[in-house]
Amino acid sequence: MRKRLALVTVVACTAAVLVNTGGTAVAHGSMVWPGSRTYLCYEDGRAGSGGGDIQPTNPACVAAVAQGGKQPLWDWFGNLISNAGGRSREIIPDGHLCGPTTKYDAYNLARADWPVTRLTANQTVTFRYNAWAPHPGTWEQYVTKDGFDVTKPLKWSDLEPVPFDKITNPPLASGEYSWQARLPNKSGRHIIYSLWQRSDSPEAFYSCSDVQFGGGVPDTQPPTAPGAPVASAITGNSVKLDWPAATDNVGVTGYRVQNGSQVVATSATTSATVTGLTPNTDYSLTVVALDAAGNVSPASPSVAVRTGTVGTCAVAYTKPSTWNGGFTANVKITNSGPSAISAWQLVWDFPAGQTLTQAWSSTITVANGKATAKGASYNADVPAGGSVNFGFNVSTTGAVTDPASFTLNGSACTTG
Amino acid sequence: MKRAQKQVLVALLVVGSVVCALLVARAEPTPDLTKGVDGIAAWLHELTGECADVRKGEDFTAFVGPVRADVYLPSVVEWGTCRKQPYEQLGLIVLRPGIEEAWRNALARGEVRGDPDLAFGDGFALTGSIGMEHLGLKRLECTPGSCSFVQIEHH
């Protein structure tokens, strides 16, 4: 009965909306081509995870997810202010144009390595904007001024004063709104800033599309190989690499550190720290450079690295509070070894019948009957002779046995 | 447009709007929160036919990022996600009181801007914005001094 009621509700409301808007088809979402930062990072993250999750590989997208979480990419079409009311320039401060709310703030990061769409100046193209729901409104597309530096925060004064493209209620087809526009006469790296102000509501949507204007000839020339990497700060599970820069006819946008063909780190600079390595293990690491067109350089010479031995660890697991259907657990990791344990990860059995409801001083993921805890930004390392603490709440169904063993960065710890 | 057609459209508008208003008013947010996130999911599934599979026990900070997690987590009793178009992962959150004050304090410290990005029901919230008005949910508009609930406008 309730389902039928809900269905009737949807049909009635849809009919009312269609009549109210006179059947006008308009948009809701974000720029798909040239892709906005949230859309292209979403696509990058989906590809990086192999589907089912978001694990971006583009360095800017990686940084954005570290700052703002994965939710803004799952909701890549929701970069909006509900009550903008045509006052976007008044209420959005400089530096926040690409992500005016806290949720999307990470997409304001002033970096050169966001995913880029190559465009040809003065060409007539078809802009595409995804459409989840129909609303009337007007889209304005601005481009950054000559001399714009993408590594500095985007300001309103960085935009040309007049939009190079403006359209009201564009046509809808195949779930997207699309319209033709003539690109501006620009060269090099720019941002196309799209601002959609609904006319039936104060809600407005924002997107930044990173673009490279070229002369119509696609860039197929890859960067040169980076120089030989030098390893330092080797621990049981991490190593820092530095390497001489690669060069490119347009510009190097980032680097990947590889173990064979597996990408183990990305960086926008000539330095990276590879984490998550296994103690007492040999690695042969190389670096490749990328440009904005996605061309990949030959690999650098390799550097051989053998990870160190993880210091002896001890884990104290206590339950200060237990109630019918749940408990609170505190965990203390002590490092009695001679060197710090960086980027610690503690793994223990987490059998069925338990549900993690909250964690503090760490991030905990549960998969395949195992819990994996990682430190927060302020306790990611266990200093030599020191310790870190974290805790979590669990809801339970039935009896739960305390974990008997813990593994820290691949090595077993003593318990008690 | 002919006069008769106009009259039909106006009649449709009036009837549709009234029916819509009446039915939306009945679609009150009433999940069974004694069942936690499962109660929210069941309510959403009942209303929309979606949100059948709930994922729980994942890292909330990885989902919303550390800034919002610092504000929201003290008020989170339980959370999970499910699929409800257009959201591949829509967050379902059982709340305890305190989120308004936490957001106001974070606003005052300059750690967040604007309003919380959640759609609120009584004792729970969803992380979406699109379609939330059909569920009878509300937005929270905040200044460092106060917060107030406002009905979400039609998307």
Q: What are the pLDDT digits (tens) for B35-75?
A: 999 999 999 999 989 999 899 989 999 999 999 999 999 99
Q: Of B129, B139, B154, which has the smallest distance from its Cβ to A17's Cβ?
A: B154
Beta bridge partners of A412: A407
pLDDT of residue A28: 58
Q: By three-state DSSP, how is residue B87 classified? A: strand
What mean pLDDT comes out for the span A129-147? 87
DSSP category for residue A174:
T
What mean pLDDT comes out for the span A337-353? 87
pLDDT of residue B13: 43
pLDDT of residue A265: 83
pLDDT of residue B151: 83
Contact criterion met (CB below 8 Å) for A35 and A243: no
pLDDT in tens, A201-216: 888 999 999 999 986 5
Rounded-to-integer distance, Cα B131 and Cα A228, Å? 53
Which tokens sit at A2?
Answer: 């309730």
Query: In this model, does residue B28 exceed pLDDT 50?
Result: no
pLDDT of residue A293: 67
Picking from A77-81, A136-140, B16-20, which range would have the lowest pLDDT averaged per residue? B16-20
pLDDT of residue A51: 67
Query: In this model, does residue A304 exceed pLDDT 90?
Result: yes
Sign of the alpha-carbon dihedral angle for A42, A43, A45, A46:
positive
DSSP category for residue A183:
P
pLDDT of residue A176: 78
pLDDT of residue A25: 26
pLDDT band at A141 (very low <50, low <70, confident <90, very high): very high
Q: Which residue of B has its CA nearest to A55?
A: B62
Q: Which residue of A has its CA nearest to B106?
A: A102
Q: Which residue of B has its CA nearest to A67?
A: B65
Which tokens sit at A14?
Answer: 């849809």
Tell me if A82 and B139 make a contact (CB, 8 A cut-off): yes
Q: Which residue of B has its CA nearest to A27?
A: B155
What mean pLDDT comes out for the span A66-80? 94
Best of A17, A21, A53, A75 to mutate (most B CBs within 10 Å, chain B): A75
Q: Of A96, A135, A363, which has the smallest distance from its Cβ to B62's Cβ?
A: A363
Contact criterion met (CB below 8 Å) for A407 and A413: yes
Sign of the alpha-carbon dihedral angle for A23, A26, A27, A28:
negative
Query: In this model, does residue A96 exceed pLDDT 60?
Result: yes
pLDDT band at A398 (very low <50, low <70, confident <90, very high): confident
Q: Of B63, B67, B155, which has the smallest distance from its Cβ to A133's Cβ?
A: B155
How many angstroms from the chain centroid is the CA of residue B58?
Answer: 20
Please give the helix or strand (H or E) that residue A62 lies within, else none.
Answer: helix A59-68
Which tokens sit at A62?
Answer: 């990686």
pLDDT band at B135 (very low <50, low <70, confident <90, very high): confident
pLDDT in tens, A154-191: 999 999 999 999 999 998 876 678 899 999 999 999 99
Query: In this model, does residue B92 exceed pLDDT 60?
Result: yes
Rounded-to-integer distance, Cα A216 and Cα B31, Å? 56
Tell me the average pLDDT of chain A.
Answer: 86
Chain B partners within 8 Å of A9 (Cβ): 20, 23-24, 26-27, 134
Q: Of A13, A78, A355, which has the smallest distance from its Cβ to B129's Cβ?
A: A78
Give the angle subtended at the CA of A250 by the CAs of A97 and A297, to the nearest 5°.
Answer: 110
Rounded-to-integer distance, Cα A390 and Cα A385, Å? 17
Beta bridge partners of A375: A362
pLDDT band at A15 (very low <50, low <70, confident <90, very high): very low
Contact criterion met (CB below 8 Å) for A45 and A55: yes
Chain B partners within 8 Å of A12 (Cβ): 16, 19-20, 23
Residues whose CB falls within 8 Å of the CB of residue B114, separated by 6 or more in sequence, listed in order: A81, A100, A101, A102, B142
Beta bridge partners of A138: A168, A197
What mean pLDDT comes out for the span A273-294? 84
Torsional class of A410: left (φ above 0), alpha (ψ -120 to 50), beta (otherwise):
left
Please give the helix or strand (H or E) that residue A230 lies within, else none.
Answer: strand A230-232
Query: Before B86, cis peptide (omega within 30)?
Result: yes
Tell me the nearest-neighbour CA distance from B26 into chain A, angstroms.
9
Q: Of B46, B117, B155, which has the smallest distance from its Cβ to A28's Cβ?
A: B155
pLDDT in tens, A26-54: 235 889 899 999 999 998 998 887 767 89
How many angstroms from the chain centroid is the CA of residue A36?
Answer: 13
**What residue has token string 């300059």?**
B110
DSSP category for residue B36:
T
Query: In this model, does residue B154 exceed pLDDT 90?
Result: no
Query: In this model, does residue B76 exceed pLDDT 70?
Result: yes
Sign of the alpha-carbon dihedral angle for A16, A19, A20, A24:
positive
Best of A3, A19, A345, A361 to mutate (most B CBs within 10 Å, chain B): A19
Tell me if A13 and B134 make a contact (CB, 8 A cut-off): yes
Torsional class of B40: left (φ above 0), alpha (ψ -120 to 50), beta (otherwise):
alpha
Beta bridge partners of A334: A314, A387
Which tokens sit at A245?
Answer: 């820069």
pLDDT band at B153 (very low <50, low <70, confident <90, very high): low
